[in-house]
Each structure stands twice: as structure tokens, then as C-alpha cells.
Amino acid sequence: MATTAEIKNGIVLEMDKQLMQVTYFQHVKPGKGSAFVRTKLRNIRTGAVLDKTFPSGEKIFPVDVSFQQMTYSYRDGESYHFMHLQTFDDIVLPADLIGADQLKYLKEGMECTGRVHDDQVILLDLPNFVELEIVETDPGIRGDTATGGTKPAKLETGAIVQVPLFIERGTMIRVDRREDKYLTRV
């Protein structure tokens, strides 16, 4: 058991017999009245997002979560297969557990971190920065803009990001997957 002072982004709480992940929090101290914590919670099972406000000092129930390293192997219909790096066990995860925002950057052989609760993977975290190849982009024409322009580029996993005009097809780039943002050439 803990209090609202220990709320952070990414922790998993148990509320009403459901596992909820904190995706956003803000401690608020109004000029009048008592302090409170405003949060956005995502239900791990259903993916539903809930806005909840906790009075300052209220008891919360964080869940013990361990981390295990795994490598993405392949996709089998709607299931995704991962290999546990220590035991070499096959771990099968459904697409809704991974999340659409992460699936567009998932590449075979990519090392990921699984969050485990009660011997079951409840969340999957991809690396924040991924290196992918551009498979499709329009040729950039210099002089089109007064400042540095951008163009859309399709990556090998199907994701589309904005890249500078000088980037060409076949180039390996580093992308911040949290913001869908081009960082640099590799």
C-alpha cells in the first residue's frame, strides 16, 4: 500500500479488481482547498482510458511488476510470438496487449521488455528509439522551402514519419517511437 505521493507515469495500480497503468499524472495545489492528484489511467485488459482525481494522501495499491527481456520472433495471425532471453520459452501475446502505437514499430529480432505480474506478461515496452529502413519516399527537391522542409517516408514496419528532404529510399534512420519523430540517419 502507498499514497498518492508515489504516483508516477508507468506504474501499475490495482483499482476495483482491475489493473490500471498511470499514463499521466499532475499534482495540483490550488490556492484554496486541499491538494489533489489528477491522473489518466489505462485499463491493461481493455485499453479503456479513465480520468481519475485522487485527494492528496489517499491510499493506492501499486502492483508488484517484474521486468523480463524478450525478443520479437514472428507474427501468427493475431498473435505475436516473443522469445524469453534467459529460458528461451515462447511467449504469445495478443495485439491488443501490445498496442497499435507500438505495433507499427515492431520488427523481427527487436529486443523488448515485458512487465510480468503473477507469471503473466501484462505490458510490453519497445525501445524508445528504433532504427528502421525507409522503403518508400518521394524524392526531395531542393529549394522548395525557405527553411528545412520535410516529406513523409514509409518505414519497413509500415509506420510513416516525416523526414528531411535529403533523406532517400533505403536509408537507415533512428526514430523516437513515442513521438513518431525522425531523429537522425544511422
pLDDT computed for residue 146 by the predictor:
55
Q: CATH 2.30.30.30 residue ranges in the chain?
A: 2-60
Whole-structure pTM value: 0.76
**Mean pLDDT value of segment 130-153:** 80
Burial group, residue 66, by CB count within 10 angstroms (0-12, 13-18, 19+): exposed
Residues 6+ apart with CB under 8 A from 122: 12, 19, 44, 65, 97, 115, 116
Tell me the CATH number for domain 2-60. 2.30.30.30
Q: Would you say domain 66-125 falls under CATH 3.40.50.300? A: no
Q: Measuring CA to CA, how many Å separate 136 from each of 77, 125, 168, 182?
A: 25, 27, 8, 15
pLDDT computed for residue 170 by the predictor:
93
pLDDT computed for residue 142 by the predictor:
63
Q: CATH 2.40.50.140 residue ranges in the chain?
A: 66-125, 129-185
Q: What does the mean pLDDT of the chain come to? A: 89
pLDDT computed for residue 123 by the predictor:
87
* Fold of domain 129-185: OB fold (Dihydrolipoamide Acetyltransferase, E2P) (2.40.50)
| Residue 95 binned pLDDT confidence (cut-offs 50, 70, 90) | confident
